[in-house]
Structure 1
């Protein structure tokens, strides 16, 4: 049975609208697929991180510092959506282990700008390589239309603030 919650608008390539009818069971299967896909997506990096005694929070920090070198602590807080205390614990470890440098801002001395060291860039590369390989294989199996559709779905699921961060990062790298 289809109810109002199962009807969603889907943008067509030529700007038109069509209705997409989804049952609760179809949505549930999509949600479960996302949970299991996330487990797969994080499994390889988790094994690597475990060798160094790090967790996913360290990985996320390394990833976003790599994507936006010189980012401020406040910007990283906004992207990650974690508490200052939680981020400080992660950053303290990454700085102590010489994976990240914290530099005093040139305009505002209170700001701390974060950059990866060579050692941090190497670890981030190792983690990203594992995830890129998994994504590359999945994309190959799914095909180009599915890849574009998947990205469209992911972007549509983002909160407005996250879309803003994503767009800024995408625009800064032109990809």
Structure 2
């Protein structure tokens, strides 16, 4: 049976009130704003948004990924993703090649320019995460990851687990 950490009020976290859950939800909203603030500033200079960032991130993590795989990970419409990819390809950040086995597939790679942008975006987020993790401590870091993983739908967890053990460079 899992041991549950004690809250600051001494109540076990197994019996959270609606008010405690609301505070956690609000903390997540504000943390997400902070987590995306630095990349948003970088992207706004290029007239890009978060959809561009997510595409760049996952193309970097899985070089050669297909458009269909990216659609499944991002959970967006084909039309929306195509709009994002068209701009990234036109601006020289992403290359698209036809599949060798299936000519209908398009395989995506970051160009050198795309990899440089990805590094800039990821460095900003890593700096923020590193600072927060240091402030919270190792037990909180492990607990935070457990909470995030427990919140994932099964399909998303499948995609996450496929990426989580890859080395940082890919």
Q: TM-score under structure 1 normalisation? A: 0.88
Identify the residue that residue 105 of structure 2 maps to in structure 1: 111
Q: How many residues align?
A: 161
Q: Which runs of 5+ in 2 are unaligned?
A: 5-11
Identify the residue that residue 78 of structure 1 maps to in structure 2: 72
Q: State the alpha-carbon separation in 2 of the partners of residues 158 and 171 from structure 1.
A: 17
**2, 8, 14: which one aligns with 1:11:** 2
Q: Secondary structure at the match of 2:96?
A: strand
Q: Which runs of 5+ in 1 are unaligned?
A: 1-9
Q: Which aligned pairs between 1:1-150 and structure 2 lie closer than 5 A?
A: 11-12=2-3, 20-150=14-144
**Deviation of the 1:168 alpha carbon:** 0.7
**Deviation of the 1:98 alpha carbon:** 0.4
Q: TM-score under structure 2 normalisation? A: 0.91
Q: Secondary structure at the match of 2:23?
A: helix
Indicate the structure whose relative CO is greater, using CA pairs within 8 Å and at least 6 residues apart: 2
Q: Which has the higher strand share?
A: 1
Q: State the alpha-carbon separation in 1 of the partners of residues 2 and 151 from structure 2.
A: 14
**Deviation of the 1:12 alpha carbon:** 3.7
How large is the RMSD of aligned CA atoms in angstroms? 1.6
